[in-house]
A and B are shown apart, each in its own frame.
Chain A
Amino acid sequence: MPGAIHAEGLVKTFGDVRALDGVDLDVPEGTVLGLLGPNGAGKTTTVRVLTTLLQPDSGKAVVAGIDVLKHPNEVRRSIGLSGQFAAVDEYLTGRENLQMVGRLYQMNAKAAKKRADELLERFNLADAADRTAKTYSGGMRRRLDLAAALVVSPPVMFMDEPTTGLDPRNRQALWGIIQELVAGGTTLLLTTQYLEEADHLAHDICVVDHGRVIARGTSDQLKAQTGGERVEVVVHDHEMIAPARDVLGRYGLSGIGHGEVTVEEHTRKLTVPVTGGAKLLAEVIRDLDARGVEIDDIGLRRPTLDDVFISLTGHAAERAEDENGEAPTDAKDRRKSRKEAAK
């Protein structure tokens, strides 16, 4: 039985760019799928297709049991979308924003008002309810945006980089809200550039790059696929990087996750995937010592999703730290889409 969100072979081209190159997804009801990928990988485009905002060139999409291409308006009744921008009217108060969205979800005025009050309370915005959204902080706008997406308690939610541009405290708070939502039975598709976020929130993860899903599985499965453990060494000064790399190279597993020693020059950190646990760690320390390599820190760790990312895509996840919340992905997608719309 197909899941609450199901996509098959989605293709979308903008000019000669294949933004989606055959994306398949399946999100079982009540679970969270994390769509992970670098900028321009096709995350936003996927969300736009699934939320009826963009017509794919080919492929099939079913959301909440409804065909997205055939019955977009029915789909809109069953979904909530929280995009990359906090899409709220900044000249309206928090309450007016939510009431408007409620009315446009075809609620009557009374029901929309009641629902707005509930959500303002729930999202800790009751005190600011009658101030214009212009006066809100970034975190408050995000919460208002999320509240707007939840006006009808949709069974299926889409969040496109929900925490981009938020400070750590607000990010944690938003994660809490998302977890409660999912505990309540909502199916969620979430895109993120923060590997930690996907690790934290998602049951399943799809890694996308160049418009294709290049890996899928649980966070643990992906990590296991990348290779068991890593030895991480921080050498005392830059001259010791080269000898340390020689030593570590001998322990590196070939074939899994490229098996290469990765070096971060500025932090003097070397990492290599290994098998053999603590015993091997002792050997590495002895070997390094024999070569006269002074170390500041050494440890054995499980792979992070960052490692998964690097080994799968060949490049590190580019993080959008832009405080405005304007992720470059989106800007690029938008330019492309606008070109499309102009035709």
Chain B
Amino acid sequence: MTAVTDAVTTTGPRGGISQSVTDSLVVAKRNLIRMSRIPEMVIFGLIQPIMFVVLFSYVFGGSMNIGGTTSPSVYREFLMAGIFAQTVTFATAGAGAGIADDMHKGLIDRFRALPMARGAVLTGRTLADLVQTALTVVVLAIVALLVGWRVHNGIPKALAAFALLLLLGYAFSWIGALIGLSVRTPEAATSGGLIWLFPVTFISNAFVDSSKMTPWLRHIAEWNPFSATVQACRELFGNPGVSPSDAWPMQHPVWASIIWSVLIILVFRTLAVRKYRSATA
């Protein structure tokens, strides 16, 4: 019986921020271990964007007019920033499904009854998703290079573009966290996490030249947070099809991308953590 009743010394209450960081990393580690044990999920997550690259490049490739040319190779270069950005936003579904699953299995209750930092379960989850997103982006970049995509403005700018992409993915995974806490089942979180992404990613400059859209649609596309990142990536990668629009986010896409992502994180993190505190599984 001694093994059970022996008092165990804890490190005692620690400072707010240091505890938040430790707890978040503990939860992130847990989620990464999980992902490594369900490799099929990671693999499906890779197949989807690769399929998009191939389908868009070869099916749409010859019929898209980008910067006055319908050359398939130009469209492929144009397309990649859009596919990268769309891929990172799919992290939303992963975060949502993971958190809904934790709710469903009673794990959120267990976490909530532990003396841990309030946001740590969600932060840990979104950090793990960030790692997975980064992995996906690397694989996708290799495939993109194989179909003819190139970086024209040097490595530092390309890395900056990837940083913006990861920031966007991280921001969107907080939207996923909120969805995961709000639905009843992991299945609902997966579809709920994906459905709204289609209009967001399609009413944008990701796959077509937004300047050719009807005016009201064009305004939405140009102010779409997602479009800012796509535009910024095209600029930083030196890819064709950078929109000449006067809209502020299209003129200052890097700043617009950062501002949008940070804003999304602030709003959705606040909402998700509040929801978590009253969450009932």
Using a CB–CB cutoff of 8 Å, the interface residues on chain A facing chain B are 48, 51-55, 73-74, 76-77, 79, 81, 83-92, 96, 100-101, 103-108, 111, 115, 118-119, 121-122, 132, 148, 150-153, 180-181, 183-186, 334, 337-338, 340-342
Closest-by-CB residue of A relative to B38 is A91
Which of B106, B112, B280 contacts A85, CB < 8 Å? B106
> Are B34 and A111 in contact, with the CB atoms below 8 A?
no
Task: Choose among A103, A104, A341 the residue with the greatest number of B CB atoms under 10 Å from its CB.
Answer: A104
Given the known interface contacts A91-B37, A152-B8, A184-B1, the answer about A103 and B115 at a Cβ–Cβ threshold of 8 Å is: no
B114 contacts the other chain (CB 8 A): yes
Inter-chain contact B22/A103, CB cutoff 8 Å: yes
Chain A nearest Cβ from B20, distance in angstroms:
12
Q: Is the CB of A103 within 8 A of B110?
A: no
Which residues of chain A are within 8 angstroms of B7 by Cβ–Cβ distance? 153
- Residues from chain B with Cβ under 8 Å of A151 in the complex: 8
Chain B residues with CB under 8 A of A81 = 109-110, 113
Residues of chain A within 8 A of B281, CB atoms compared? 334
| Chain B residues with CB below 8 A from A91, complex form | 33-34, 37-38
Nearest-neighbour CB distance to chain A for B121, whole angstroms, equals 9
Cα distance, A181 to B279, chains bound together (Å): 30
Within the complex, which residue of B38, B112, B115 is in contact with A105, where a contact is CB–CB below 8 Å?
B115
Is B152's beta carbon under 8 Å from chain A? Answer: no
Give Cα distance in the complex from A148 to B3, angstroms.
Answer: 14
Given the complex, which residues of A lie within 8 Å of B182, measured CB to CB?
342
- Give A109 to B68 CA distance when docked, in angstroms: 61
Q: B1-50: which residues lie under 8 A (CB-CB) from chain A? A: 1, 3-14, 19, 22-23, 26-27, 29-30, 33-34, 37-38
Cβ–Cβ < 8 Å partners of A53 in chain B: 109, 112-113, 280
Q: Which of B9, B22, B27, B110 has a CB less than 8 Å from the CB of A87? A: B110
Hey, which chain A residues are within 8 Å of B27, CB to CB?
Answer: 100, 104
Contact in complex: A76, B4 (CB < 8 Å): no
- 5 closest A-B pairs by beta carbon, nearest first, are A337-B280, A87-B106, A85-B106, A184-B5, A76-B115
Given the complex of chains A and B, what is the CA–CA distance between A53 and B113 in angstroms?
A: 7
Select one of A76, A84, A108 contacting B106, CB under 8 A. A84
Q: How far is the CA of A248 from the CA of B111 in the complex (A)?
A: 55
